[in-house]
């Protein structure tokens, strides 16, 4: 792929991913409420979800993705329901110190991965980008295997960097909450944000 085309994609993709949306809200709420535990799995779900959408667009299966409307609706609602479940857990969780939360089990890491994956697959922001905006940035009709791998690599690096940057900012903010009362309000606030992200994904088309 010409360097100019790849640079244009990277810039466009960076601007889209860095713009706050349901995914950003969910990861901020997750980190503020539970810290860094399970964060790698949560971010991996976002990356894999974007790669799925890119693969669909690059292989000419965008039309199939549109026709499989019911499937993606189920995925979208499953992700939204799990985010609501996490939000409820934050609301009712005990006000323990932000430094004392234990790391999740491997099973919960799998659930975190699947929740962010389903959130991405059902996120209208991702759908619009890959099925509508991406073809105006990249010539998908003449995309070679090498170019596909270059773009896929750029997606992985850029999205991971953006999500990690937001997570680091949330972790620094989280350290300010030390008292039990502050932690309780932090949990409830982040739970509300996560619930809002879930509802946004569920109701937007």
Q: Mean of the per-residue pLDDT values for the chain?
A: 76
Arithmetic mean of pLDDT, 96-121: 66
- 158, 19 contact by CB (below 8 A): no
- Higher-confidence residue: 38 or 165? 165
Q: State residue 129's pLDDT score.
A: 83
How many CA atoms within 13 Å lie on the side-chain side of 153?
9
As a whole-number percent, the residues of the chain with pLDDT over 90 amount to 20
pTM as predicted: 0.73
Indicate if the pLDDT at residue 162 is higher than 90: yes
Arithmetic mean of pLDDT, 90-107: 51
Q: State residue 46's pLDDT score.
A: 93
Q: State residue 135's pLDDT score.
A: 82
Q: Using alpha carbons, select from 42, 46, 44 the residue that is nearest to residue 103.
A: 42
Indicate if the pLDDT at residue 37 is higher than 50: yes
Model confidence pLDDT, tens digit, residues 10-28: 999 998 888 877 788 788 8
Annotate 124-188 with DSSP letters as a single string: HHHHHIIIIIHHHHS-GGG--HHHHHHHHHHHHHHHHHHHHHHHHHHHHHHTT--SHHHHHHHHH
> Phi first, then psi: what are they for 178, rounded to 5°?
-115, -40
User: Rounded to 5, what percent of the chain is helix, strand, coil?
Assistant: 80, 0, 20
Indicate if the pLDDT at residue 33 is higher than 80: no
Q: State residue 50's pLDDT score.
A: 94
Q: State residue 100's pLDDT score.
A: 43
Gap between the Cα atoms of 129 and 96, Å rounded: 40
Phi-psi region of 25 (alpha: psi -120 to 50; beta: other; left: phi over 0): alpha
Model confidence pLDDT, tens digit, residues 52-88: 989 988 887 655 555 555 666 666 676 667 667 766 7
Q: State residue 128's pLDDT score.
A: 76
Token pair 């810039």 in the structure block, residue:
11
């Amino acid at each position: 792929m010409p360097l100019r085309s790849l640079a244009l994609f990277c810039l466009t993709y960076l601007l889209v991913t860095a713009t706050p949306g349901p995914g950003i809200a969910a990861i901020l709420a997750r980190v503020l409420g539970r810290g860094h535990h399970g964060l790698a799995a949560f971010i991996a779900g976002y990356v894999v979800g974007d790669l799925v959408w890119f693969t669909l667009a690059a292989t000419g299966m965008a039309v199939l993705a549109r026709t499989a409307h019911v499937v993606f609706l189920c995925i979208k609602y499953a992700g939204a329901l799990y985010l609501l479940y996490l939000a409820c857990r934050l609301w009712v969780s005990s006000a323990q110190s932000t430094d004392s939360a234990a790391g999740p089990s491997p099973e919960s890491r799998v659930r975190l991965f699947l929740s962010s994956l389903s959130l991405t697959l059902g996120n209208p922001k991702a759908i619009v980008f890959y099925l509508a905006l991406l073809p105006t940035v990249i010539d998908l009709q003449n995309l070679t295997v090498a170019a596909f791998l270059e773009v896929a690599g750029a997606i992985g690096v850029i999205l991971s960097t953006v999500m990690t940057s937001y997570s680091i900012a949330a972790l620094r903010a989280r350290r300010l909450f030390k008292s039990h009362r502050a932690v309780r309000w932090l949990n409830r606030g982040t739970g509300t944000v996560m619930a809002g992200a879930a509802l946004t994904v569920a109701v937007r088309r």
